Structure 1
């Protein structure tokens, strides 16, 4: 039986597709879990799973907070991604800076920040956590700024988790490119990870008390874009996407070996093809 007295209190900021699955899992393991949503009507779903629900919204300052008890916790897991908007490079870091201020004010000691492999450029090769960050998209640039805001704080320890593309359950990749023709980049490797592995990795970081680290998290195997999406479409009984025959374009191959070694982690899905 799990001894709740020895388990940290956890607040999951952003109980969307990933955050809700995480909160449900941690609650089932005996953790005292709080979860946040932006809309009041989504609170009931949290309560149904025994999760203490709070309405929290950073716009970009903390403008909605049903109860600041949400921030009275040992660990905050931030699952709020940058939303598409013209000023994303300034707006999202302001959101995370507001989160940082709340964490400092309430004495939070650990922050787990869910980032993305979009912080890496297309390098025509393998990318590891030591690579200098020079993202090409605005969302990636926003994430880099957000990561720095958190890791430079002396008031709490931060671990950064850079996930690849998220797949699983209602995010069936067979629908992503089905029917499409003359697609490019068919020979480049995909960098994907299943929701089950995301939840398990976060749980292991918390369980093993691994802080002050930066980890990539993708399936260790990287099939080509063409092989993966054509197989996914076939599995969903949808028309396969058609790719152009062309020279290999710029790509990145995200290396998760640091995470595997540091956490002694065994992926549930070694290849994205295993998820289909």
Structure 2
């Protein structure tokens, strides 16, 4: 049994906590609202009210920093903010980690760190990245905030987290001039949680892994499957694009460790949410 803390019992953090508990680990996690804390406790999850605003706030959150393993799963929300708040949060979080007896860290990041430039070859974990060359400087700075730490650190860069109530076709329904020719870098929600569990239990530390499903269908194929399976309104039109020249992210490194995806093809992702 390993004591594991999860900062962020959200869309990925909650199923991760449930998976780890089923395997006998002692899990504690955080949520930013008291109402969500009550809901999680009713589900059998040891949840603590903790937020970074950017200063640490909550009750009893010090317990999060007494485990052996810490999973940091805080989205930067760079689409809706300038990212400054996120970087301040990471600064305070890094200080708390430095002062703790935590031994191992998983930092959840995104494939958005890779340059937003189409090319023939796929981006891999070996891609040399700087704040200047990254596709998202805030994400890159977030990762960098935990590098050179005196603990074992593994960074996981997830692609588009989809499945259940996150339906890609819903976001382009009825729209015109939709990009349908590029290939996707998606991962199913529970495969993402399983991948984090795998890294913890297989002790895959001091590494960087991309978390994307092995198959990369075109966006149009995914949208049309959603239309067929879920009755979503299709896009009104697509823009013409060149096939094979896009921003593909390679996820083969985690496969080489023996990990397998339950849903390796985004065309087969299950969806259960309302549309």
Identify the residue that residue 142 of structure 1 maps to in structure 2.
138
Which structure 1 residue ranges, 4+ long, deviate > 3 Å from structure 2?
63-67, 84-87, 246-250
Going by fraction, where is helix more abundant, 1 or 2? 1
Identify the residue that residue 81 of structure 1 maps to in structure 2.
75
2:139 maps to 1:162? no
- Once residues 158 and 247 of structure 1 are traced to their aligned partners in structure 2, the CA distance between those partners, rounded to angstroms, is 39
Q: What is the CA-CA distance between 1:86 and the residue it aligns to?
A: 4.2
Unaligned runs of 5+ in 1: 1-6
142-151 or 215-224: bigger deviation: 142-151
Matched residue pairs, number? 263
Aligned-pair Cα RMSD in Å: 1.7
- The residue correspondences of 1:167-206 to structure 2 (distance < 5 A) are 167-183=162-178, 185-206=179-200
Q: Which whole-Å deviations, capped at 9, do the CAs of 1:146-166 have from their partners, x for residues lacking one?
A: 111212112x11100000000
Is the contact between residue 222 and residue 272 of structure 1 (CA under 8 Å) also seen in structure 2?
A: yes
- Once residues 177 and 219 of structure 1 are traced to their aligned partners in structure 2, the CA distance between those partners, rounded to angstroms, is 21
Relative to the length of structure 2, the TM-score reads: 0.90
Is the contact between residue 174 and residue 235 of structure 1 (CA under 8 Å) also seen in structure 2?
A: no
Identify the residue that residue 256 of structure 1 maps to in structure 2.
251
Q: What is the CA-CA distance between 1:176 and the residue it aligns to?
A: 2.1
Unaligned runs of 5+ in 2: 271-275
Is the contact between residue 57 and residue 65 of structure 1 (CA under 8 Å) also seen in structure 2?
A: no
2:27 maps to 1:27? no
SS at match of 1:201: helix
SS at match of 1:151: coil
- CA gap 1:91/1:251 in 2 versus in 1, 3 angstroms: farther
- The residue correspondences of 1:50-89 to structure 2 (distance < 5 A) are 50-84=44-78, 85-88=80-83
SS at match of 1:258: helix
Is the contact between residue 174 and residue 236 of structure 1 (CA under 8 Å) also seen in structure 2?
A: no
